[in-house]
Amino acid sequence: MNMKPRYIYLAAIALISAFLLPAGAAAQTEKMNVDADTSIKKIGPNRAHFVWMMTDFQFYGSSVSAPGYQLRGVGAFGAQALLMYKRKLSNVFSLVGGVGISSLTLYISNNKPSQLDTLFWNKGVVNHDKERMATNYATGTAGLRINMDPKRGDVQGTYLEFGGSGGLLIATRYYTKDKGADGRVIKTTMRKLPYYEPYTYSAYARLGLKGTVVVGVAYRFSDYFKSKYQLPEPGKFAVTLSLNLGG
């Protein structure tokens, strides 16, 4: 019946805890911890002059027929690295231009027997496991940017850009890859091929998406191959993906 001593114990423990806890682990709490930021941010406003690097990837559609050739398809992939310059006209409009190097690679899916090699090798029909054709261009691009996000507008922001690109052919290659009878992989490369048009020109529209990623479409007006060779053209339309790499 006599519970009083227990209550005294409990009260004493509670009192001691009340004094000890604030003096111990719970005495101080970190409320704020800031590392001073000294980095200079090159994003934000819409500068009058701005230079940056851009990489651009193009995915061309497939062309499945070409006179004289039976192909399952030709897929093309383009890539370019550009040094870009922006000249602001107003908060809304800017001119953009750039120079760089681009490449366009055709991945060929032959029907067997392929007639494509006849042209390249001139020794009859040869079936290759893998074939691709690659070209490099010195590229120039120019366009008009309509900025829809006046708070930004250099390499980031929301904007629409229309323009054109042109390229001068500087290198050509034709690659094959086969597996020999003894199991060895045989790779061949041919250079300085005569089949390509020396120039390429196209138009593009790009949409900046509040970040460094830009999506768009491109239409290539020029032909890839000289028409007299009647080679299978890659698609004219491309979906493009560009990355702006700071400034």
Partner 1 sequence: MNRILLRWALPTFLLLHAAIAGAQQKDWVLLKDKPNGSCAMPGQIFSPEIWQQKQAHGRVFEVTDAPVEQQYIAAIAEIADSLGYASRWMNAQAVWTHSPEQRAKLRALPFVAGILPMSSEPMRPASLRAEAEGKIDTAKIKLTAQDLKLLERQKAFFGDTAAQRHELTGKGVRIAVLDIGFKNVNIHPAFAHIRARGGIIKTYDFVRRREDVYYTGFHGTNVLSCIAGKTPDGKDIGLAPDAEFLLAKTERLLTELKSEEDNWIAAVEWAEQNGAQLVSSSLGYTKQRYFTEDMDGHTSMIARAANMAARKGMLVINSAGNDGTNDWRVICTPADGDSVLAVGGINPYTGYHSDFSSYGPGYPNKLKPNVCAVGTAFMASPKAYTKSDGTSYSCPLVTGYAACMIQARPDLRGALLLKEVEKAGHIYPYFDYAHGYGVPQLAAIVPNHDTARLSALSIDTSGTESIFIRVDSAEYVRAAAQFNNRGKTLLYVHQADANNFLLNYKVYEFTGPGTLEIPEDEIKPGTRRLRFSYGGIMREISLNEAPRGE
Catalog residues that contact partner 1 under the rule CB under 8 A: 22-24, 26-38, 40-48, 89-93, 144, 146, 150-152, 162, 203, 221
Place of tokens 């054709």: 133
What secondary structure letter does DSSP report for 27? G
Least distance from C-beta 45 to partner 1, angstroms? 5
10 vs 21, beta carbon nearer partner 1: 21
178 vs 223, beta carbon nearer partner 1: 223
Paired with 103 in beta bridges are: 79, 136
Least distance from C-beta 46 to partner 1, angstroms? 8
114 vs 143, beta carbon nearer partner 1: 143
The answer to whether the Cα torsion of 46, 49, 53, 59 is positive or negative is: positive
- The 8 Å CB, 24+ separation contacts for 107-110 are 107/74, 107/75, 107/76, 107/77, 107/131, 107/132, 108/71, 108/74, 108/132, 108/133, 108/232, 109/71, 109/72, 109/73, 109/74, 109/75, 110/71, 110/72
86 vs 132, beta carbon nearer partner 1: 86
Residue 99 token pair: 């120079």
**Residues 95 and 142 sit within 8 Å (Cβ to Cβ):** yes
68 vs 150, beta carbon nearer partner 1: 150
The three-state secondary structure class of 6 is: helix
Least distance from C-beta 166 to partner 1, angstroms? 13
Least distance from C-beta 94 to partner 1, angstroms? 10
10 vs 144, beta carbon nearer partner 1: 144
130 vs 236, beta carbon nearer partner 1: 236
Residue 234 token pair: 């890659």
Residue 35 token pair: 């590392």
Place of tokens 């704020």: 32
Phi, psi dihedrals of residue 121, rounded to the nearest 5°: -95, -25
Which residue type sits at 17?
S
Least distance from C-beta 93 to partner 1, angstroms? 5
Least distance from C-beta 221 to partner 1, angstroms? 5
Least distance from C-beta 200 to partner 1, angstroms? 13
